[in-house]
Amino acid sequence: SGRASLVWTGSEFGVSWNDERDGNYEIYFASLDSSGNKIGSEKRITYSYYDSIAPSIVWTGSEFGISWSDERDGNYEIYFIRLDSTGNKIASDFRVSHALEYSSYPSLTWTGSEYGIAWQDERNEHYEIYFALLDSQGRKIGLDRRVTAHPSYNPSLIWAEGVYGVSWYDWQDGNPEIYFVRLDPSGSKIGQDIRVTQSLDGSYYPSLTWTGNEFAISWQEAED
């Protein structure tokens, strides 16, 4: 079991993860009370019978949204599902990406009226960060937006009262560093990429949040 994603609803936690108990990785869900005790039983979300990995979960105020990377189509693509407050599926799985290559490590956020998803995508021969919008029912709005134009990995996406913030790591300056950019509500970039780290030894796997006034990022860093 791994790649867990956690969200707070205001009264309890929802957690999703990938789990190999059935012979291949599938996505599972559980509810936890405010003390971290499990409420009811775990629920299996995917039945693709190929690997489903790296979920990202959000709470809309009335239901959960989960995105993940799924191999059911012969290559990894990004999928999305809505769950009610107890973890039951509200609709069928929806395929978000159609890269026909390797789309993975999605990061999902909720704006109050729609979902934003960012992920790493290999459609241009190397991984880059892409972004898409879904309406409240999980239907795609418009086309995918390409955020980066160089090898880029593991995005973290957050909605911040009128704009999206997205962070990732890439090698554009010769070694792995953390970068950040803002996107407007349609997913278009606002300004240039901002280099966050200056470690020269390697910075990876950012996690981004919004405090209500500013962005905060944590990451993993290699040191001599």
What's the pTM value of the predicted model, to 2 decimals? Answer: 0.94
CA distance 176 to 15: 30
Tens digits of residue pLDDT in 23-38:
899 999 999 999 999 9
Collapsed DSSP state (helix, strand, coil) of residue 127: coil
Instruction: Give the pLDDT of residue 222.
Output: 84
Long-range own/partner contacts, residues 14-22 (CB < 8 A, 24 or more apart): 14/57, 14/59, 14/64, 14/87, 15/57, 16/45, 16/55, 16/56, 16/57, 16/66, 16/68, 17/55, 18/51, 18/52, 18/53, 18/54, 18/55, 18/68
Instruction: Give the pLDDT of residue 175.
Output: 87
Instruction: Give the pLDDT of residue 224.
Output: 60
Q: Do residues 115 and 80 touch, judged by C-beta distance below 8 A?
A: yes
- Which of 58, 94, 100 is CA-nearest to residue 77? 100
Low-confidence ranges of the chain (pLDDT < 50): none
Instruction: Give the pLDDT of residue 109.
Output: 98
Tens digits of residue pLDDT in 51-65:
999 999 999 999 999
CA distance 83 to 34: 20
Instruction: Give the pLDDT of residue 64.
Output: 98
